[in-house]
Amino acid sequence: MKIYAVQTGSVRIKRSQVHGRGHGLRRRLRIFTDSQWTAWLPTYAWMIDHPEGIIVVDTGQGRHLLDTARSLHPYLRWEVSFRVEPDEEIGPRLRALGVKPRDVQRVVLTHLHVDHDGGLAHFPDSAILVSRRELQTAGGSIGRLRGYLPNRWPAWFNPIALDLAAESFGPFAASRRLTRAGDVIAVATPGHTADHLSVMVMEDGITYVLAGDTSYTQALMLAGQVDGVSADEATALATLRALKHLAAERPTVYLPTHDPESAERLSTHRVIDATRPDAARSGRATV
């Protein structure tokens, strides 16, 4: 088994989205008054070359996102911008790795935000797994009001709704095995969205956390710093703490979608040293 980091362009957002400030609705509205952008951040998807078949986690950004500056949705119009070259979409990226998208058996989405489902069009022949409730949250006109783009899902998009069982995984309450070997597991990591999930991959005694947007960087997770978009701050914080507990229990490589250091941590198998007294203060956000 091997995990590949697949960069699908980059994104920039407001600093107060990465690093939530204040509480409640004010925290979430702050993004709209913040004039400070982050640096350009990578948007990763992941390919797991697994003996039971290739699994892709998230599909990254699509070129169609380049027109969001004209969107009617205020978040998409003003608070985020994207860069995606034609050969940076996940289809060409996988082909460059020697994999045809039709050879991907399954695609698992951590959540349905536009920079995670933006490459869906490349996978008409794959089984696509999405949390059942995330699908409900993102769909229809209510989903569009929430900043999702269900109107840009491919016409054939008919995902398999994933229900995570009440089967704990370490400090997490709900999970579901995705492979017979039990070495790839979807785990409920609510917060950034109410039904956000992460994918845990176990190999050679290391747990790789394909974390989606549980936090924007590892340092922010260790610091228990909730982002600026999570609706339920307490739930988001509980997930960050569970991730930190996981890292204290077992060697863990933490791989958020937008952390500029994720690819290097993956290639060097760099685990979190959660026992270090300064782990919680290990630097500021890198953006």
Is 14 one of the binding residues for Zn ion (CB under 5 A)? no
Binding piece for Zn ion, criterion CB under 5 A, among 61-69, 99-107, 112-120, 142-150: 112-120
Is 113 one of the binding residues for Zn ion (CB under 5 A)? yes
Q: Shortest gap between Cβ of 204 and Zn ion (angstroms)?
A: 30
Backbone angle region of 222, left / alpha / beta, with phi > 0 → left and psi within -120 to 50 → alpha:
alpha
Token pair in block for residue 176: 């579901």
Binding piece for Zn ion, criterion CB under 5 A, among 61-69, 98-106, 205-213, 234-242: 205-213
Q: Shortest gap between Cβ of 227 and Zn ion (angstroms)?
A: 9
Binding piece for Zn ion, criterion CB under 5 A, among 28-36, 111-119, 144-152, 174-182: 111-119
Of all residues in the shown chain, the one whose CB is closest to Zn ion is 113
Binding piece for Zn ion, criterion CB under 5 A, among 62-70, 109-117, 152-160, 173-181: 109-117
Is 213 one of the binding residues for Zn ion (CB under 5 A)? yes
List beta partners, residue 11.
Answer: 41, 82
Residue given tokens 């608070």 in the structure block: 79
Distance between CA atoms of 63 and 61, rounded to whole angstroms? Answer: 7
Is 259 one of the binding residues for Zn ion (CB under 5 A)? no
Q: Shortest gap between Cβ of 158 and Zn ion (angstroms)?
A: 22
Taking the C-alpha atoms of 46, 198, 190 and 33 in order, what is their torsion angle to the nearest 10 degrees? Answer: -20
Binding piece for Zn ion, criterion CB under 5 A, among 56-64, 92-100, 105-113, 161-169: 105-113
What is the DSSP-derived secondary structure letter of residue 116? T
Is 58 one of the binding residues for Zn ion (CB under 5 A)? no
How many residues touch Zn ion (CB under 5 A)?
2
Q: Shortest gap between Cβ of 58 and Zn ion (angstroms)?
A: 10
> 60 or 159: whose CB is closer to Zn ion?
60
Q: Shortest gap between Cβ of 1 and Zn ion (angstroms)?
A: 26
Q: Any residues with CB less than 8 A from the CB of 136 and at least 6 apart, and which?
A: none
Is the Cβ–Cβ distance between 138 and 150 less than 8 Å? yes
Q: Shortest gap between Cβ of 205 and Zn ion (angstroms)?
A: 30
SS (H, E, C) 216-257: CCHHHHHCCCCCCCCCCHHHHHHHHHHHHHHHHHCCEEEEEC
Is the Cβ–Cβ distance between 224 and 209 less than 8 Å? no
Q: Shortest gap between Cβ of 111 and Zn ion (angstroms)?
A: 6
The contact set with Zn ion (CB under 5 A) reads 113, 213
